[in-house]
Structure 1
Amino acid sequence: MHLFLIIIVLSGAIAFRLSWQGNAQTWGDRWHSALFAFLLPPLLLLMTAIAIAVMGYRGQMIGMETGRLSYYLAIAYLVFVLFSGMKVLGDGLTSLKMIRSYPQIKLHLNRQEIQARLLEDSGLYSAQVGFFKPELVISQGLLENLDEEHLQAVLNHEQAHCYYRDTFCFFGLGWLRRITPWLPNTESLWQELLALRELRADRWACQQVDGLVLAESLLLTVSAPFREFASFTAEFNRPYSRDRLQERVDALLSEPDRLDDFKWLDWSGLAIALFPLIFIPFHY
């Protein structure tokens, strides 16, 4: 019976991922559609494994015998999930340790004092790196090649990532990506969420700076060498396809969707992921 439950849940997760089209019209609809499609299948699989591990391999469920195979599969998957989480966390802590070895500087822009870690590199790079309280990393090349107006635009964009807790949230999303890379559309959904994350940060930054200035900053930095420290990094100039880059520039030069449509998911919809847990009382 447990093996039958695994097959049903796995088939449903795959079918749900395949049904994602990514053709919503507004940013808010695209964000919610991609986030829900990204989150639900791995959470459903995780809850199924937990339910089977709790029930064990002895006894019956709804009058049908349970078996060892499904139990061992569930335990193996939970061990894989645990070690994947430890690997993601370990990579993140290693990156954070490296970042904190960089010299700390203070920037004075627009009557603001901003602390940052200086990356001694001639490339144009900026990012928020860290978990819940990330640190700003900027390169020497960025300070030398951007004037104060364009540098302020870049820093406003990075402040948006702090405002939305993007590094912390994408640390969790990156873990789910790692434990289900074989599900359909995992990479497509990941890239969609990254692109929408940057669009949202751009829109937030445009409340403080001119969109044209931010677009110019993006075009100046997009060809710079890319550094990816960990899954919890939010970079201003991460590499994009030509279409993604064009979408971001067009959004900066136009009047996009409202920011209040760009909220995190209504978590009540993810209650579906708890479905496998309802079988626990029926195991005896």
Structure 2
Amino acid sequence: MGTQGKMGMWQTGCLSYGFAIGSLVLFVVLLVRLTYQGWQSLRSVKVCTETKLGNQKVRLLDTAALFAGQIGFWKSELVISKGLLQSLSPAHLETVLAHEQGHYYYRDTFWFFWLGWIRECSSWLPNTDALWQELLILRELRADAYAASRVDNLLLAESLLLVVSFQTQSENNFSSCAEIFCAALGSSSEGTRLEQRIEALLNHQQQFTNAQPCSQYWHNFLLALLPLITVLFHQ
């Protein structure tokens, strides 16, 4: 439409163009920074020893901390600490693997990479952090429900408590990327968030166990695209 056009009743100009281009450049810089951080986390994963637990390939993290998480993008890798293998019984370990399989099934690391980018771009908005925390707990509840449909939900709750209790005593090597590039059993497990997850497991809630895509989600996604209608008002 050029610098002499209009958007609705407002006149556009070089200033609005400069602001738009500057915003796009900033968003690209944030995306590149997140991509670099993700690449660094993947490099950290690759140096870990690869082994098998049953039929599943895992990377062993040489630390006494209790840690298990999917790390990566679309095809994430499961990383488990030696401390976790030494501390949990085979039954509890099975529940941890089931939880992490839920994260892999829903490709949480991939989607939260993009959601994390949106979070960075909208960090100036007042409710961004609150919405981010809600997304994290919903991600964990969904993975918990996925696991509870395959293993004993009480054992999974016990495993969660064990992992969270040890996390307060030591930190893992991926703490800096835990929210975006790493979907771990102990994510979003502080205070009321932990209580919410435990309560959901004890009640054996099933609201997230349906693995089939729901048309309602697509309706909500299309609703989010409504602002694009404003393009029609550009002249």
Question: What letter corresponds to residue 3 of structure 2 in structure 1?
Answer: Y
Please give the alpha-carbon distance, in whole angstroms, between the structure 1 residues aligned to 2:9 and 2:87. Answer: 72
Question: What letter corresponds to residue 203 of structure 2 in structure 1?
Answer: S
Give the TM-score, by structure 2 length: 0.88
Query: Larger relative CO (CA 8 A, sep 6+): 1 or 2?
Result: 1
Aligned CA RMSD, in angstroms, stands at 1.9
Question: What letter corresponds to residue 125 of structure 2 in structure 1?
Answer: L
Per the alignment, residue 149 of structure 1 pairs with: 91
Please give the alpha-carbon distance, in whole angstroms, between the structure 1 residues aligned to 2:21 and 2:202. Answer: 51
**Counterpart selection for 2:187 from 232, 238, 241:** 238
1:261 Cα deviation (Å)?
9.3
1:118-139 deviations in Å (ceiling 9; x for gaps): 1100000010001100000010
For the Cα contact (< 8 Å) 2:71–2:79, is it kept in 1? yes
Report the CA distance shift for 1:184/1:202 in structure 2 as closer, same or farther (over 3 A).
Answer: same
Report the CA distance shift for 1:219/1:275 in structure 2 as closer, same or farther (over 3 A).
Answer: same
Per the alignment, residue 93 of structure 1 pairs with: 39
1:97 Cα deviation (Å)?
1.2
Q: Which runs of 5+ in 2 are unaligned?
A: none
**Counterpart selection for 1:74 from 7, 20, 31:** 20
Give the secondary-structure state (helix, strand or coil) at the position aligned to 2:225. Answer: helix
Please give the alpha-carbon distance, in whole angstroms, between the structure 1 residues aligned to 2:80 and 2:192. Answer: 26
Question: What letter corresponds to residue 103 of structure 2 in structure 1?
Answer: H
Give the secondary-structure state (helix, strand or coil) at the position aligned to 2:25. Answer: helix
Per the alignment, residue 201 of structure 2 pairs with: 252
For the Cα contact (< 8 Å) 1:126–1:236, is it kept in 2? yes
1:263 Cα deviation (Å)?
5.6
Per the alignment, residue 277 of structure 1 pairs with: 231
Q: Does 1:124 align with 2:39?
A: no
Report the CA distance shift for 1:142/1:64 in structure 2 as closer, same or farther (over 3 A).
Answer: closer
For the Cα contact (< 8 Å) 1:200–1:262, is it kept in 2? no
Please give the alpha-carbon distance, in whole angstroms, between the structure 1 residues aligned to 2:9 and 2:193. Answer: 53
Q: Does 1:170 align with 2:119?
A: no
Q: How does 1:1-284 map to 2 (within 5 A)?
A: 55-61=1-7, 65-108=11-54, 113-223=55-165, 224=167, 225-226=170-171, 227-230=174-177, 231-259=180-208, 260=210, 265-266=217-218, 267-280=221-234, 283=235
Report the CA distance shift for 1:269/1:61 in structure 2 as closer, same or farther (over 3 A).
Answer: closer
Question: What letter corresponds to residue 100 of structure 1 in structure 2?
Answer: K
Report the CA distance shift for 1:272/1:63 in structure 2 as closer, same or farther (over 3 A).
Answer: closer
1:201-235 deviations in Å (ceiling 9; x for gaps): 00110111101000000000002234435312101
Report the CA distance shift for 1:59/1:178 in structure 2 as closer, same or farther (over 3 A).
Answer: same
Please give the alpha-carbon distance, in whole angstroms, between the structure 1 residues aligned to 2:158 and 2:84. Answer: 13
Report the CA distance shift for 1:273/1:65 in structure 2 as closer, same or farther (over 3 A).
Answer: closer
Q: Which runs of 5+ in 1 are unaligned?
A: 1-54
For the Cα contact (< 8 Å) 1:157–1:201, is it kept in 2? yes
1:242-268 deviations in Å (ceiling 9; x for gaps): 111011001101131423399673222
Query: What fraction of aligned residue pairs are identical, expressed as a percent?
Result: 43
Per the alignment, residue 52 of structure 1 pairs with: none
Question: What letter corresponds to residue 222 of structure 2 in structure 1?
Answer: S
Give the TM-score, by structure 1 length: 0.74
